[in-house]
Amino acid sequence: MREAMFYSSLKNNIVQCELCPHFCKLKLGEKGFCMGRKNIDGKLYAINYGESVSISIDPIEKKPLFHFYPGSRIFSIATYGCNLRCPFCQNYTISQFEQETEYISPTELYKIVKNYGLSGISFTYTEPFIWYEFIYDFCKISNGDLKIVLVTNGMINEKPLLEILPFIDAMNIDLKSMNPDYYRKVLKGDLETVKRTIEISQKKALVEVTNLLVTGDNDSDEDIEKLIDYIASVNVNIPLHFSRYFPNYKYTKSETPIERLIFAYNKARKKLNYVYLGNVLIEDAENTYCPECGTLLVERYLYRIRIKNIEEKKCKVCGRKVDIIL
């Protein structure tokens, strides 16, 4: 446990968390919406500090990150909790409920990652920004020696985002919809905050965006086109992943129809340079092609990765700079 960053003290021992747009006001003994922060004796504490619920070593493509050291493996770790309430969450057992944890200090974690011979760590599976203090301290200890990856819903206020961004190498940010009412009513989040996180972060780190196409929720032609247009307005080189939804947690809706995924893929390819499909096997839909000449640059099948036609960070055929960190 560690005293939280980004909060203010109010009257009557009430504290207000300022980490995310929920701005939770907590009386003595109350926990925040994310479950990871608590008012103890009139101070806000990160009670999830160092408390891990899942540790693994994953292919980097599982995040998904396709433009960040393709074919490599990355250490992955999570705490419990989240500051969204997605009713279809695939990791709901650890994101929506408190779980038994195993404590690990930032220093211990750094040593473990180094002992595995890995060059990076991903804070993933649940929402990393609610583990802010632990990740911040880990970044300080790592001091640039490890690549830091966040797989996030983007629900963080601007000040804490700007403070941690200099330490972050890559992010996959979920953009679940372009409908603010859907974010607010169904997910209990804020669309404008997520958009701001994407816009700021892509200037400082490698950013890829994932959109889970949920049947009947956000998979209409209009929904898809609005999202594509938004990403294009920010940066046409941001890789966009459309991911197939499957029934989970509170949702029993049928899985995303294949034709919806193909529609989204084809639409996005007209305006964005890098588009992928996830949670589904469709030929060529995970490959990276040169936006200039169409040459195959990275071939992917499941987690089998082959880098092709890249020399000195350029396409061998046309010489265009490759937007991939190798």
Q: Which residues participate in the annotated binding site for [4Fe-4S] cluster?
A: 82, 86, 89
Residue list for the binding site: 82, 86, 89
Measure the CA–CA gap between 269 and 276, rounded to whole angstroms. Answer: 9
Q: Which residues contact 311 (CB under 8 A, 6 or more apart)?
A: none
Q: Which residues contact 10 (CB under 8 A, 6 or more apart)?
A: 16, 25
Measure the CA–CA gap between 255 and 249, rounded to whole angstroms. Answer: 13
